Amino acid sequence: MEHYDLLIDRISKSAGLDRAEVERRVDEKKEKLSGLISKEGAAQIIAAELGINFEDQDLKISEIMPGMKKVNVFGKIINLFPIREFNKNGRSGKVANFIIADETGNTRVVLWDVNHIELLENETLNVGDVVEIKKAASRDNEIHLSGFSEIAKSSKELQDVQTKPVVAEQLLSEARQGQTVKSRGIVVQVFQPRFYSVCPECNKKAMNEGEVYTCAEHGAITPKDRAILNFVLDDGTETMRVVMFSDQINLLLPEEDLKDTEKAAVFRDDFFGTEVYLTGSVKRNQLFNNLEIIAQDISRVEVEALISVLESN
């Protein structure tokens, strides 16, 4: 909702309308479209109807919306990733990624153009530099630069930038690919756990070649098992599959217990119907073409603690 509030403020100032009037128009638009669009999406439609074009303005990172075609933004580079080469469908090239941040949030920047990538290869751009990006596109909560985009080191100073992942507390019905969300809901389905083999040194997935397991980094290995546990969360507006790996599973029970058929069955029966707080990243499952959440943190809702918090407000 923080993104929505910032968007409403910008529309209100640009159009010279009271905030309440802008929100009234957003609610009307959302109702007219039978709730098939998020409040942020409805706000963008209202902005377009009022002749407000955010694509010509410098935006804060928290104001960037998915689908924008011309994103102009300043940000400090807080993390650089290795440049990767790819060869796909007869096309080869390089792709580079880094994270920028300002005082409102942070986001991944993806470079595809060789001239832009050279700025990283020759260390013209480094961690700590503030960059100015123009004419980029926003896809899946990332900023993508094409050959028509511009990027350059800026003399602008950014001090207190948001380096931690920005978590949006929102309804599952309004969750979008690429977001990190925090939701509260009820577990309405629990699936059988699955196991896969990983390298005991680096925890990366092991490759099986006959009876021999190998790791790309450590060669022949004796693998160890890791669990995957899926469940479905319902927050009253939508249901969504959640994928949990070892670190998150261990927040609920020892991962090893899932190998014990009896203990695993007891856990699934107990976990079913539980109300939980969940934080995770929204991804698209390529096999089923639907959104799911990769869990980052999970905890049961403690009713007594929740009552105490409500009574203190």
CATH code of 254's domain = 2.40.50.140
Average pLDDT over every residue of 70-81: 94
Structural domain boundaries, residue 59:
55-163
Q: Does residue 87 or residue 124 have the better pLDDT?
A: 124
Q: Quick one: 262 and 185 in the same domain?
A: yes
pLDDT for the residue numbered 235: 94
Average pLDDT over every residue of 184-198: 93
What's the domain count of the chain?
3
Give tens-digit pLDDT for 15-66: 899 999 999 999 998 888 876 677 777 888 898 889 887 767 888 888 787 6
Q: Quick one: 4 and 105 in the same domain?
A: no
pLDDT for the residue numbered 37: 73
Confidence of residue 262 (pLDDT cuts 50, 70, 90): very high
Does 210 fall in a domain?
no
Does 279 fall in a domain?
yes
pLDDT for the residue numbered 36: 67
Does 114 fall in a domain?
yes
Q: Does residue 309 or residue 105 have the better pLDDT?
A: 105
pLDDT for the residue numbered 80: 95
pLDDT for the residue numbered 263: 92
Does 148 fall in a domain?
yes
Does 215 fall in a domain?
no
Q: Quick one: 107 and 151 in the same domain?
A: yes
Give tens-digit pLDDT for 202-244: 888 888 877 789 888 888 889 989 999 999 999 999 999 999 9
Does 77 fall in a domain?
yes
Per-chain mean pLDDT for the chain: 87
Residue 167 has pLDDT above 80, yes or no: no
Residue 305 has pLDDT above 70, yes or no: no
Q: Does residue 151 or residue 15 have the better pLDDT?
A: 151
Q: Quick one: 172 and 143 in the same domain?
A: no
Classify residue 220 as exposed, middle or buried by CB count within 10 Å of its CB (0-12, 13-18, 19+): exposed
Q: Quick one: 15 and 98 in the same domain?
A: no
Confidence of residue 303 (pLDDT cuts 50, 70, 90): low
Residue 180 has pLDDT above 90, yes or no: no
pLDDT for the residue numbered 89: 72
* pTM, full prediction: 0.61
Q: Quick one: 47 and 60 in the same domain?
A: no
pLDDT for the residue numbered 107: 92
Residue 253 has pLDDT above 80, yes or no: yes
Q: Quick one: 110 and 10 in the same domain?
A: no
Q: Quick one: 12 and 143 in the same domain?
A: no
Residue after which a domain boundary falls, among 52, 70, 93:
52
Q: Quick one: 7 and 125 in the same domain?
A: no
Least confident of 29-43, 116-130, 179-193, 227-241: 29-43
Q: Quick one: 155 and 71 in the same domain?
A: yes
Least confident of 43-52, 112-121, 150-159, 236-245: 43-52
Confidence of residue 312 (pLDDT cuts 50, 70, 90): low
Does 128 fall in a domain?
yes
Average pLDDT over every residue of 179-198: 91
Q: Quick one: 104 and 116 in the same domain?
A: yes
Q: Quick one: 272 and 246 in the same domain?
A: yes
Does 214 fall in a domain?
no
